Structure 1
Amino acid sequence: MADFTILTVCTGNICRSPLAHLLLRDGLADLGVTVHSAGVGALVDRGMPDQSLAIARSLGIVDAEAHRARQITADMVREADLILPMAREHRAAIVELVPRASAKTFTMREFGRIASHITDDALAQAVQDGATPADRMRLAVEEIGFSRGEVPPPASLEDDNIVDPYRQSDDVYAQSTAQLTPAVQQAVSLLRKAAGGL
């Protein structure tokens, strides 16, 4: 495989996972990374709600209106190099669908939390045998997996989830975005460093 593929996942695939998908896509656009999203209970063919579109625009995303929700499939899971569900319940559904996907599946906030603890030296050592940027990113995902048990857990398991804003107030949309964007930034930073071999 030449490209590195990321799959983001939430429930309906209209709020959290498409926003994560679009931010990751834009943040990794020059690295040959394919990013897409799906839902475990997708509102198939539905677009993002107005609040999510407004948030996407405020974050510099210019084509959020084009998004249409898709239902997750086992093939999507198998083909992805990294799977980033928005909550632990989505991670459980993914692993139930394809048990072998466990090693490459992290909640968005979990991945960001672990990534923030990986030193540049440790990352450089982990990815040094990667022949291509995509190979190095795959090795970085392995390193995140190896570090899963070594990084201190969150104070509460809920802290690895991103709150679902669907049909909630603007304040909940803002809270969800505030939880999502730092995790995306941490993931983009780690993957960009890995791709470049530091």
Structure 2
Amino acid sequence: MLLTGAIRARYHRLAMAASMGERLSPEATRVLVVCTANQSRSPMAEVLMRRRHEAVGAAASVASAGSRRGGEPPSSGSVRAMARRGLDLSGHRSRELTANDLAGADLVLCMARRHCREVVVLHPPAWPRTFTLRELVRRGEAAGQRQPGQTLDEWLGVLGVGRVRAALLAEDDDDDVADPIGGPDSAYEATAVLLERLVDRVVELTFPQSPSTEPGSNG
């Protein structure tokens, strides 16, 4: 049976959720966070973003993966950094990024430009919805928050104006979140503080509040 693009995308999203043991409605936004080993930055961002989604009532699900082989526990520094925030990362096991993961994601958030490069090589159609965390915040703040009634794809299209794939080959790290792996707890704490700020801003920009959840609402 031949599948249309929309049906195929929905199938991949549900298949990805099933592989993670999640129940995901077809309408929910699927966010995938990517780093190198999926042991420090991306799992921290995953749990921080999941908590933020829950806090604002966003219809979204978040997962993480890395470009290396999976099955490894998280770094101890990241576990401690999240524990200080009331989040338990101890049960996390790293996952290797697959093309199916990318086909099923509505938004791919990378820790560094090199990860965006790897994503686009693995699954070229993911390019319009793949950004580093810093880049999405920078472009989102310049373009303005996603508006009620505006689809995520429409908003990402606005953010993508002027983007070229060749920029992925650049070597600057202005849009990167540095890897704390192997560093002291202070390095993990600094990364966690940065990720908290970026994640909060991403959620604020990407998921506009409904009237019933806006500050000061009596609903």
Which of the five TM-score ranges fits, normalised by the shorter chain? 0.7 to 0.9
* Corresponding residue for residue 152 of structure 1: none
In structure 1, list runs of 5 or more residues that go unmatched.
131-135, 150-155
Specify the SS of the correspondent of 1:64.
coil
2:48 is aligned with 1:33: no
In structure 2, the residue matched to 1:187 is 202
Bigger share in helix: 1
Deviation of 1:171 after TM superposition, in Å, equals: 3.2
Match of 2:173 in 1: 158
Identity rate of aligned residues, in percent?
30
Question: In the aligned structure 1, how far is the partner of 2:155 from the partner of 2:201?
Answer: 13
Could you say what the CA RMSD is over the residues aligned between the two structures, in angstroms? 2.3
Alpha-carbon spacing, 1:115–1:60, altered in 2? closer, same or farther (3 Å) = farther
By how many angstroms is 1:59 displaced? 2.5
Which runs of no fewer than 5 residues in structure 2 stay unpaired? 1-25, 165-170, 215-219
Query: How far apart, CA to CA, are the structure 1 residues paired with 2:53 and 2:159?
Result: 18
Q: What is the alpha-carbon distance in structure 2 between the residues aligned to residue 20 and residue 144 of structure 1?
A: 21
Structure 1 position 51, deviation (Å)? 1.1
Give the structure 2 partner of residue 133 of structure 1.
none
- TM-score between both structures, scaled by the size of structure 2: 0.73
Q: How many residues align?
A: 179
Alignment partner of 1:91 out of 113, 116, 134: 116
Relative to structure 1, the CA distance from residue 103 to residue 35 in structure 2 (aligned partners, 3 Å threshold; closer, same or farther) is: same
Q: Describe how 1:10-159 pairs up with structure 2 within 5 A.
A: 10-29=35-54, 30-42=57-69, 44-61=70-87, 63-120=88-145, 123-124=146-147, 127-128=148-149, 130=150, 136-146=151-161, 157-159=172-174
Q: CA offsets, 1:164-194, max 9 Å, x none?
A: 111122232233224322211110111221x
Q: Does the 8 Å CA contact 2:66/2:95 hold for their aligned counterparts?
A: yes
TM-score between the two structures when normalised by the length of structure 1: 0.80
